[in-house]
Amino acid sequence: MKIGIVCSPTYGGSGVVATELGRSLAQRGHQVHFISIAMPFRLDASPAENIYYHEVHSLDYPVLPGELWGISIASRTVQVVEDYKLDIVHAHYAIPHAISVWLARSVMPKTKFGMVTTLHGTDITLVGKAPSFFPITRFAIENSDAVTAVSSWLREETIREFGIEKEIHVIPNFVDDEKFQRRPTCPLKEHFAPNGEKIFLHVSNFRPVKRVNDVVEVFARVADKIPSQLVFIGDGPDRDAAQRLARDLGVGDRTHFLGKQERIENYFSCADVFLFPSEYESFGLAALEAMCTENIVIASNGGGLPEVINHGVDGFLANVGDVEAMANHALEILGNESRMNEMGRVARRNAIDRYHVDSVVPIYEELYNAVLARQR
């Protein structure tokens, strides 16, 4: 098949899932065309056969001060579909990508291609439901040939918020167990934890939904009792506040903000505990990657996280904002090394059994085939 993938290039889950999906589809013999406003994060890591990248360019024109990107993405999609005769165009994130693909299709009514939309989370729960985007988001969902959501929770939210009657297929996020595995050596540990301290990790884009202050609150309660270090990867609006809070709580010297990093798997490989106290996560891809790397995930129970983490079996869940409970889970597991190692192994096994890239990507392929069969 010839498949177009329209996605965001930024440091965030939807772009990562789109990129890894495209990579895997290319390895399985499909020709994959990424359409994005910049090189998607993680796509430039290694060259691969069957992968094409088409950058979208827009126009900065003073008479039209609003964002023209959605229209530019549509124009680029038209060109790529025509030039390469794509069978499927898969939009990741409803706004603006799904509506751009729909616009591209309307521009060339005689050209047949299937339109698939994947809903990732905030495109429904934050952006899409804002009054300025609501009718357009609903329209994009209703007018896609197939729609997927990354968890049952997100499917239910979409139905509830938008009154959607169309079928929404749940296809979860996935993980590559080769990439996300513990490595025998760990330079980060030698650097930050030379005396065998435990490493706590948080990875996100530091938006309010991530509750990064809760990460610091949990860590401060544990660091008092167990020698440990906290590493933050990523950047975003709440980074400075978290840095201030760490200083105020007296753990500034044990808290390290490394900013956006490329090879995220190296950091998971060095961590003992992954903290993920989000207000909600439609799925929580970072939690899955941490589990696959045998980290103990301590997360909130917001959104779809309970679909991914089995409390007490392969990680821990607590109510949103309950930093005491999260700290107690950390103290409990760090105090029992053999249980901790066993839980890490179970987490990896469950991640692989339930969410392996080679089990999930074929579900997308089946969906593409079903869309094309219906069109014929």
Q: Which residues bind ligand GMT (CB under 6 A)?
A: 12-15, 17, 93, 120-122, 150, 173, 204-205, 209, 281-285
The distance of closest approach from Cβ of residue 139 to ligand GMT in the complex, given in angstroms and rounded to an integer, is: 20
Inter-axis angle of helices 239-248 and 212-223, nearest 10: 20
The distance of closest approach from Cβ of residue 283 to ligand GMT in the complex, given in angstroms and rounded to an integer, is: 4
The distance of closest approach from Cβ of residue 76 to ligand GMT in the complex, given in angstroms and rounded to an integer, is: 20
The distance of closest approach from Cβ of residue 45 to ligand GMT in the complex, given in angstroms and rounded to an integer, is: 18
Q: Which is nearer to ligand GMT, 220 or 271 (CB)?
A: 271
Q: Which is nearer to ligand GMT, 210 or 221 (CB)?
A: 210
The distance of closest approach from Cβ of residue 252 to ligand GMT in the complex, given in angstroms and rounded to an integer, is: 25
The distance of closest approach from Cβ of residue 205 to ligand GMT in the complex, given in angstroms and rounded to an integer, is: 5
The distance of closest approach from Cβ of residue 295 to ligand GMT in the complex, given in angstroms and rounded to an integer, is: 16
Residues 6+ apart with CB under 8 A from 256: 192, 229, 230, 231, 232
